[in-house]
Chain A
Amino acid sequence: MKHIISALVENKPGVLAHVAGMFAARAFNIDSLVVGRTEEPDLSRMTIVVVGDDRVVEQVRKQLARIVPVVKVQDFVGQPVVARDLMLIAISAPAEKRPEVLSLIEMFKGKVVDIGQKFVMVEVSGPEEKIEAFINVCKPYGIKSVARTGTIAMPRHAKTDTAPARNAQTQESQ
């Protein structure tokens, strides 16, 4: 089963290496790992997608929490979350196919960010399934290259309203 794990970590050197190294050393598989700054300059958020049975994911969570600069770990499984991926994709779009391609982009609410003689570069964001679907419908036209961010996620309303990151960090994850 797929789990989205969100880890609030201290923003200092070596933390990403520590987390990535732990995953490798304990033979856990990472689907995606995204790191970015938060509203607090000294904290970053890692969003990690892992696939595994409950016992494996439980270990992932505990091993993450054990890393000293990891401040808080949450597993979003079983709760409503907004999860998004961002993709840049360059699609073959010669003049005769261009209207078709543009209408597809329109249907997926993509945004054309660069355009050339033969290719268009499109920015698409959304849940992973949407991104995958867009890649699939573009395939027949020819894809030049794809760059994706991996998933970031946040639990829906109630949680985020009442528990901003700073207050929630003291909450023990185990």
Chain B
Amino acid sequence: MSNDINVNPGLRESATFDRTTMAEIRRAADTGIYDIRGFGAKRKLPHFDDLLFLGASMSRYPLEGYREKCNTRVTLGTRFAKKPIVIETPVTIAGMSFGALSANAKEALGRGASMVGTSTTTGDGGMTPEERGQSSKLVYQYLPSRYGMNPDDLRKADAIEVVLGQGAKPGGGGMLLGQKITDRVAQMRTLPKGIDQRSACRHPDWTGPDDLAIKIQELREITDWQVPIYIKVGATRTYYDVKLAVKAGADVIVVDGMQGGTAATQDVFIEHVGIPTLAAIPQAVQALQEMGMHRKVQLIVSGGIRNGADVAKCMALGADAVAIGTAALVALGCNDPKWSADYEKIGSAAGYYDDYQEGKDPAGISTQDPELSRRLDPVEGGRRLANYLRVLTLEAQTLARACGKNDLRNLEPEDLVALTVESAAMARVPLAGTTWIPGQQF
């Protein structure tokens, strides 16, 4: 936020001790406790912007942008479930809890997703009637905390997502500070009102992949094998995690890269644990291909997806669908400049706000304050999210047609090149203008 125009050009800021770093040192010295915040990784990372599509020309045949069909429908959970989920666009809404988000925000997510025929997901706080009522396809998360977990809601779900971790904090549990534990949130989580709620980071009744296989069988038995079971992991040792998830019996695997958002955790966790989404996808796809399960066990990728190009690039690298969280909240109004004055009152600014844990969100999204929550109209929020999802889908189709593909899932790594050596190595596509894929023989 500095105004560099007024800085004496003779003054040189340290790249190592920049102003943000020094501010954090001062904050730590003042308080004696680590910084807790929401949002995802803010550092610069190799990302989808480092990839480009090779559009069709002489050697490839493009499709007409406005006439020829490009399929976006995807079926998830075809391995074991009697009732797989069919989504009309491969962009789903990631798990976010009631508690972290207001009831209006959860309802808006459900409305928006339903309008375009895709799924939304519960979070670490159970299923609310508003969310179930407005979500035509609802994925019910099965988390280590098991807050609000009950067999009735389990049977109401269209899919079950066993959460082992998330990209913002692989190896860490959820966190919801006392100011957001209202009567309703406390009741849903069986906790005293006003405490700092620290969710477990490990599941309480199983350890390791062999146990997980039995746990998944239990969930299938309870739901009579009707609905798909997803396994969600934060992107770290993705190759091995995906293989173990397949072995444990997953129908769908969700891989969440380190750009994935959170409602609250330590800043040091967000910025220093996990790998970028770009690096995780090829590992996951390789694991599936080696097991002969690519496209049989579907892969959903999340973490930093913002536009249709990101969607198309995920699909080209081998994903079957993507999930968005932060981008969906921005579509609802998170960090909107229209609340600039209110952001400044709480020491932040539109575009920078990440203190979701404080419950003071001027946009009424990451809060339980009734007055702030009323600022978000769930009907209007749902309409905005649906618009945004349509744009993502149209953009992805545009790129797929340009590459000559009549289905988003026909995009392939061969359609991509990389702008940097790092992204070429991570995505396993050639550096633009070369045939060189770092780390691979040629």
Do A and B interact with each other, yes or no? no
Binding site for B on A (CB under 8 A): none
